[in-house]
Structure 1
Amino acid sequence: MKKAQNLARKKSVSQNIAFTIFSLISYAIVALLVVILAFIVIKGMGVISWEFITEMPKNGMTEGGIFPAIVGTLCLVGVSMVFAFPIGILAAIYMNEYVKDGWVKQIIKQMTNNLAGVPSIVFGLFGMALFVNKLGFGDSILAGGLTLGLLVLPVVIRTTEEALKAIDDSFRQASTGLGASKWQTTSQVVFPIAFPNIITGLILSIGRVSGETAPILFTVAAYFLPKLPTSIFDQAMALPYHLYVIATSGTNIEASRAMAYGTALVLIVIVLISNLLANALRKYFGKKVKMN
């Protein structure tokens, strides 16, 4: 009896210690995030103004605003998502719903995982070779957006695949039992239920695309371009590259550093707003699934 009680106490102590450690790690991560955000907000708020957000850059980007960089970033995010999201979803549906377990599926998964581990600068070089030079798009929003789309394609595929795996097979079996085809079951039963979780891939992709510098360095980004793009074949400024340039420039260091913090704050706000909108979209479709 005493041995059982001692064993139970040891298990309880071990659980409490593990719970405490995990809690401390979680709180430390949250605290680190808060510190980083607070640092950027404190440093960047002094620069933020209506003129800073809406005006064109001046004097080698040490004065004026960052409006062209904001527009360029939004354009790149839009093009990349239009390219990566449908292709990634279709690829994940094919792998999860149609390809049987075997060496073919394992090879596809392995290649997808390898693609996710490729450094972003390699994607930039590939995008320059394919989209800029081979296909003749030049340094343009289209070339940069497609390159970024390739970069986040593995993220979309993996998150979509996990969302599809979470759907219980009973839904598929019930649909098939009612006479629905494989495609009807996938498109009208499985996909609508999984879609709220599939949007997670969209959220992660937007966050990564918004902050990438290396791929756009070779395919679209301009150092100083005080005008707005008029088509997807135009070159454009972008917030990540703009931030990199002004943070590393050697002229007017104080002004450049202040503008760098302001640019970083604007970039964080854009990513935050995009994530909030995507989360609202996920909740909306989640409610529709529950109602149906």
Structure 2
Amino acid sequence: MSRLEQRFADLKAEGRAALVTFVTAGDPGYDASLAILKGLPAAGADVIELGMPFTDPMADGVAIQLATLRALNAGQTLAKTLQMVREFRVDNTTTPIVLMGYYNPIHRFGVQAFVEQAKEAGVDGLIIVDLPPEHDAELATPAQAAGIDFIRLTTPTTDDARLPRVLERSSGFVYYVSVAGVTGAGSATTEAVSSAINRLRRHTDLPISVGFGIRTPEQAAAIARLADGVVVGSALVDKIATANDFDQAVKNVLQLCSELSQGVRKARVG
């Protein structure tokens, strides 16, 4: 089993959802970002999404756009992001890491080199928001051939006619974007999320993680009662933006992660 498969299987056996945390690699600087990355599992993160900074993050709201700018201004590159994963893996061989971002930096890096180095570094999955299934040959096919899961985004506007195509070669888990719009947008009602999850389960046996607009332990708990995973990104990134220094940024992110984890863990099901 892949690390993602193993993690979701273990949590299902425990009767709870996964806390999936998103942070941008290199934000607010390499050392602080690495400290956050290394600290997230102990703070309760079950799966980590690590954003690959890109100059045109069209699917992201203000919080993650600013995080991307901070990272790029601090000198973050795709090569450094892969190095962060390598350094994380020195002490942690069990927590899944998913790289999330856009295709352009990977294309410029070289797909074959990227896939090889990502696998070697210990990357478990990819979420590439601007590569639809019609372009699987670009990256999804070589990544999956190397043993890296390719995770698809589904949205409220992904209808039943489109879903089979989107999910056909998905692996790892399905990321349900609960509201139409950019990251950090308002949250959906639990009724809408429940209905969407039921619809998705008719099309796939993969774990379903829900994100966008989840900011508090209470919101995380509500989604954890419905989904296999709860994704939180902008709320964590905001803790970096409002910190006075790097040390406080690390402390504040890990504190919120711990609080979110407690919310998710209290929402045990089964």
Higher percent of residues as helix = 1
Q: Which category describes the TM-score, using the shorter chain as reference length? A: under 0.3
Normalising by structure 1, we get a TM-score of: 0.22
Higher percent of residues as strand = 2
Bigger Rg over Cα: 1
